[in-house]
Amino acid sequence: MTQAPLLRRITDYSSRADPYPLYEELRRTPVLHEEEGGPYVISSYYDIKGLLHDPRISSDAANATAVDDEFSAPEATGLPPSFLRLDPPEHDRLRRIANSSFGPPHRPDRIDGLRGELGAIVSDLLDGLAGAERIDVVDQFAYPFPVTVICRLLGVPREEEPRFRAWVDPIVAGLDPGNRDDPGAPGPKAAQEARVQLGMYLAGLVEERTRDPRDDMLSDLVAGHGPDGAMSMMEVLSTAVLLLIAGHETTVNLITNGMLTLLRHPEYLERLRADPGLSVRIVEELLRYEPPVQLVPQRTCITDIELRGVTIPKGSRIWLVLAAGNRDPERFKDPDRFDPDREDIEHLGFGSGIHSCFGAPLARLEAQVALAELARRLDNPRLAEDPPPYRTNAVLRGPRHLTVDVDGVLP
Amino acid sequence: MRLVVDLNRCQGYAQCAFLAPEVFTMHGEESLVYSPWAGDEHREKAARAVAACPVQAITADGLADPADAPAGAGRVASDAR
Amino acid sequence: MPAEQFHEWLRREGRIVVVGASLAGLRAAETLRAEGFTGSLTMIGDEPYEPYDRPPLSKAVLLGMSAPDRTDLPRRREIDATWRLGVAATGLDLAAHRVRLADGDEVPYDRLLIATGVRARPWPREEEAQLDGVFTLRTRDDAVRLHRRLKAGPRRVFVIGAGFTGSEIASACRHQGIAVTVAERADAPLVGALGGVIGSVAAELHRDNGVDLRTGVMVTGLEGDSVGRVRAAHLSDGSVVDTDVVVVSLGATRNTEWLADSGLGAGPRGIACDAGCRAFDFRGIVTDDVYVAGDVARSPHALFGYQFLSLEHWGNAVAQAEVAAHNMISASADRRPHLWVPAFWSAQFGVNIKSVGVPTMGEEIMITQGSLAERRFVGVYGYRGRVIAAVSFDNTRWLEFYEGQIERGAPFPVEYPTMDRRPEGRKPVPADFPDPSLPTHGATVTLSGYSPADRRLVFTPARH
């Protein structure tokens, strides 16, 4: 009897609810290379961290020699790559310009100033659930919340969400390496087309903002107030596509994984109810324990590199399994225990190095506010289904629905 | 509360400057300048900054509210509205 | 008493004295308690303040983000110590195990930790140094005085010495729109610490930020007015700069004079100790009850040919204090070596400058990422065919990779490709450090020779 390769078992949908035993198996071969032309899979904490800071590891699709990789599909027909898929100096320039409309030093108060609004959006959503006895945390809360926030931040009309969601879904599906084995899934071509469509949609908004700037990131991206000047129109669009998608597709998982984890560990739900300040540590531990981005499948080495006695040849694809590194017993004591009280939570949940999550501070605040309020307002919440049904995506992993029975929603 | 940042560890991720801009500021792209002392009114934000540091470079004392937990809890809750 | 019992007794009821109540002293005391030391702990400091942090004094404080007297170090834990603050240690009796204090007291110890650090080197001509408006910047009191004067809106600040501290002071002044002249005897700022290639980038940084930078000159004299206020600085090129504030930033002197006749291997270059932080006596024999940590220590490092390194680095003070504290109360088999890879930072003109390793050993440098012209780069220093140090300007996230290269003794030149390698980075160039026999004041790592008992006076360069 031969078992399917480990990597295929990990990307297989049947392991979505609990991939952690497979990650443990993965760590036993810290540099795993199962198939000719397949990726080198890295799973231990220190190796991942090392490669995230290694100037020989590229994020630029153009450096990947493997042609069967949908990530390296030429994007010339569509938008230019976003800074996520670029190396310095281009990555640095675009990220600096994007940051000048988002955070310090140019906009130190953008995210901090959003705190009141985050609370108001959360309150509205929960008020809307008054009288409910069964709720879907995903559809009724964890999805609409970050969508509303990123729309507000970028300057995309919230009511057009059904429209852009039709493009976002195939793009996100295209990020799932497991997709390749599923003939029914939207292919890379569909993802490319959706990306172009979404870009064209955003182009309309960008044009409006060029004429009539407002206090939102699209306006700032177009204007380019920082020392690096402005982006080209195409760069603005590919950045906006990235921010719109990354701004909610990951946060929905962080919040839902968080609520699921708290319902499985009711003592922390109880403590959070009594002390909303605990949400800070809970979110950090969640980023370790159930990270919303499980792995980074987009790196390539630009030269042969040696790791643990294995030579990874130039041009190889490298997968960094952040979620496996986060449970590495060489790094964390008792790694499979959810423990917000642990003193050392230096997790890889947002990656590390120059590509570390752009929206991390926003995601943190959103998840902190969301979980604290869910804990406070849901009366006697109980999981209706455990495990819940998961989204297909192996990279952006999280429940598709999270059905919770409640005795009511408190004011 | 007293604060110190191990700037050897700091890699300029600026999470602290996002979350507690009254205490932590970025001068240029990646150099952090911070106030080594923060008043009570910034304690809750500073606690978020300390927890969020991706390289765990910030040491602070007096993070817990001496006026006991419920007071601190109330402050967070009111921020959330 | 058998050794094992002795250490048990020591941990339980021994007397530990820490001379130097700053960063290293505090972190050592905390480590002692954290590791279960329950005996008596005495902290002796010549300044009247509890431990405070110094790097903010030339950054956040001068930028107006922090009051100069509000930089106290946070505590990691209670240390339950007897504090003797505002009284300097004046002598050490090794045989009797006693520290003498300026007020005549004597404090007995079973274990002693010396962490007396360094002080600012004053302007050498005393009558000029006494002029009103002439400052150094090292202590809290220095910062209070300088801060007050800068707030009063001086016409021009004149900084002597473009090492890290001098550059940071100039940067803070420019940030507040104060006119600044910087005089440096080398050809560029930071040359002593990072070499001429990097120094030329630093020079542009100064000039682009409106600093009147004068290099290759010496200050020949400071001139006062009739009531004793400084009013001008005279330079070796014959020029005269009108100024009402002078900041002398000529590096530091190690606080070892109080040990002059103690028999310890202490001198102007610091106190020699082994890799376990145990002090050598002047004969080169290691003691077992006197330990050293922080800026005042110099110890051999395996990665750098077992040369004795003096490190004026914040991170070294912390790491060495922790090792020293651990070793003080541990049996020999449980002791740890202090093998910290030197690491350093400075923030000036909105640029984050960091280094790892020992740049001053570098013979050549190559820019492996980014570009000097853009002031965003990583430079790698090579010494006898291996990587010995790296420096980054606004590129800190790559530095830990190069730290690994240093630890591994990776070959130099760096042949493998790296992202964002420009044509200028394909070949190494001379790192262009000044002749080490000439005085400079920019280095933060000093190679201080092999002989622990060597008491020859040499120029000892400075902290940022």
Q: Are C248 and C122 in contact (CB under 8 A)?
A: yes
> Could you tell me which chain B residue has the CA closest to the CA of A352?
B54
Give chain C positions within 8 Å (CB) of B3: 74
Note every long-range contact of C276-283, with CB atoms under 8 Å and residues 24 or more positions apart, other chains counting.
Answer: C276/C323, C276/C327, C276/C335, C276/C336, C276/C337, C276/C338, C277/C320, C277/C323, C277/C324, C277/C327, C277/C338, C278/C327, C279/C114, C280/C452, C280/C453, C281/C94, C281/C453, C282/C453, C282/C455, C283/C453
* C235, C283: one domain: no
* C242, C127: one domain: yes
Indicate whether C404 belongs to any domain. Answer: yes
With CB atoms and an 8 Å threshold, state whether B29 touches A96. yes
Query: Per-residue pLDDT for C452 more than 80?
Result: no
Catalogue the E-assigned strands of A3-107. 31-32, 40-42, 57-58
* C133, C208: one domain: yes
Q: Are C202 and C231 in contact (CB under 8 A)?
A: no
The pLDDT value recorded for residue C192 is: 93
Nearest to C344 by CA among C164, C187, C159: C164
* C12, C97: one domain: yes
Å from A331 to nearest chain B CA? 14
Indicate whether C238 belongs to any domain. Answer: yes
Å from A346 to nearest chain B CA? 6
- Give the global pTM: 0.93
Residue that is last in its domain, among C251, C273, C302: C251
Q: Which residues of B18-48 are buried (b: 16+ CB within 10 A; e: fewer)?
A: bbbbebbbbbbbbbbbbbbbbeeebbbbbbb
With CB atoms and an 8 Å threshold, state whether B17 touches A277. no
* C138, C239: one domain: yes
Q: Please tell me what DSSP assigns to residue B2.
A: B
Q: Please tell me what DSSP assigns to residue C330.
A: S
With CB atoms and an 8 Å threshold, state whether A346 touches B25. no
With CB atoms and an 8 Å threshold, state whether A346 touches B48. no
Query: Per-residue pLDDT for C444 more than 70?
Result: no
SS3 at position A353: helix
* C247, C148: one domain: yes
The pLDDT value recorded for residue A185 is: 67
Indicate whether C382 belongs to any domain. Answer: yes
Provide the residue range defining the domain that includes C399: 343-447
* C263, C282: one domain: yes
Q: Which amino acid is at A312?
A: I
DSSP H or E stretch at residue A166: helix A161-174
Contacts of C330 (CB under 8 A, 6+ apart): C7
Q: Please tell me what DSSP assigns to residue C152.
A: T
Q: How far apart are CA B3 and CA B6, in angstroms?
A: 10
Across residues C447-461, what is the average pLDDT?
A: 42
Give chain A positions within 8 Å (CB) of C369: 55, 88
The pLDDT value recorded for residue A69 is: 43
* C202, C55: one domain: no
Query: Which phi and psi (to 5°) does residue C114 adopt?
Result: -105, 120
Å from C387 to nearest chain A CA? 15
| pLDDT tens column, C238-297 | 999 999 999 999 999 999 999 999 999 999 999 999 999 999 999 999 999 999 999 999
Q: Are C219 and C183 in contact (CB under 8 A)?
A: yes
Indicate whether C459 belongs to any domain. Answer: no
C442 confidence band (pLDDT: 50, 70, 90): low
Residue that is last in its domain, among C231, C251, C271: C251
* C113, C129: one domain: no
Question: In whole angstroms, what separates CA A105 from the centre of its chain?
Answer: 24
The pLDDT value recorded for residue C447 is: 64
Which CATH number goes with the domain that contains C243? Answer: 3.50.50.60
Indicate whether C463 belongs to any domain. Answer: no
ipTM (interface pTM): 0.94
Indicate whether C458 belongs to any domain. Answer: no
Q: Please tell me what DSSP assigns to residue C425.
A: G
Please give the full DSSP string across A256-272, using - where no structure is assigned: HHHHHHHHHSHHHHHHH
**C112 burial level (CB within 10 Å; 0-12, 13-18, 19+):** buried
Catalogue the E-assigned strands of A105-144. 134-136
Distances (CA, A) of A209 to A23, A80, A82, A198, A206: 46, 21, 21, 17, 5
For chain A, the maximum distance between any two Cα atoms, rounded to a whole number of angstroms, is 66
Indicate whether C405 belongs to any domain. Answer: yes
C2 confidence band (pLDDT: 50, 70, 90): confident
| pLDDT tens column, B21-73 | 999 999 999 999 999 999 999 999 999 999 999 999 999 998 875 544 333 33
* C125, C170: one domain: yes
Interface residue B81 vs chain A (CB under 8 A): yes
Query: Which phi and psi (to 5°) does residue B33 adopt?
Result: -120, 130
Report, at the CATH architecture level, how domain A6-409 is classified.
Orthogonal Bundle (1.10)
| pLDDT tens column, C163-202 | 999 999 999 999 999 999 999 999 999 999 999 999 999 9
The pLDDT value recorded for residue C352 is: 98
pLDDT tens for chain A, residues 1 to 411: 567 899 999 999 999 999 999 999 999 999 999 999 999 999 999 999 999 999 999 999 787 654 444 444 444 457 899 999 999 999 999 999 999 999 999 999 999 999 999 999 999 999 999 999 999 999 999 999 999 999 999 999 999 999 999 999 999 988 888 766 566 666 778 888 899 999 999 999 999 999 999 999 999 999 987 788 889 999 999 999 999 999 999 999 999 999 999 999 999 999 999 999 999 999 999 999 999 999 999 899 999 999 999 999 999 999 999 999 999 999 999 999 999 999 999 999 999 999 999 999 999 999 999 999 999 999 999 999 999 999 999 999 999 999 999 999 999
Domain ranges of chain A: 6-409
Instruction: Please give the domain boundaries of chain B with CATH numbers for all domains.
Output: 3-79 (3.30.70.20)
Interface test with C, best of A94, A302, A358 (most C CBs within 10 A): A302
Indicate whether C415 belongs to any domain. Answer: yes
Q: How far apart are CA A267 and CA C381, in angstroms?
A: 54
The pLDDT value recorded for residue C453 is: 38
The pLDDT value recorded for residue A78 is: 75
Question: In whole angstroms, what separates CA A143 from the centre of its chain?
Answer: 13
Nearest to C361 by CA among C331, C334, C386: C386
B2 confidence band (pLDDT: 50, 70, 90): very high
Which CATH number goes with the domain that contains C364? Answer: 3.30.390.30
Residue that is last in its domain, among C199, C217, C251: C251
Query: Per-residue pLDDT for C237 more than 50?
Result: yes
Give chain A positions within 8 Å (CB) of C397: 53, 352-354
* C294, C245: one domain: no
Nearest CB to C420; choose among A50, A89, A105: A89
Average predicted confidence (pLDDT) for chain C: 93
With CB atoms and an 8 Å threshold, state whether C67 touches B10. no
Overall domain count for chain C: 3
Interface residue A113 vs chain C (CB under 8 A): no
Interface test with B, best of A149, A275, A281, A358 (most B CBs within 10 A): A275
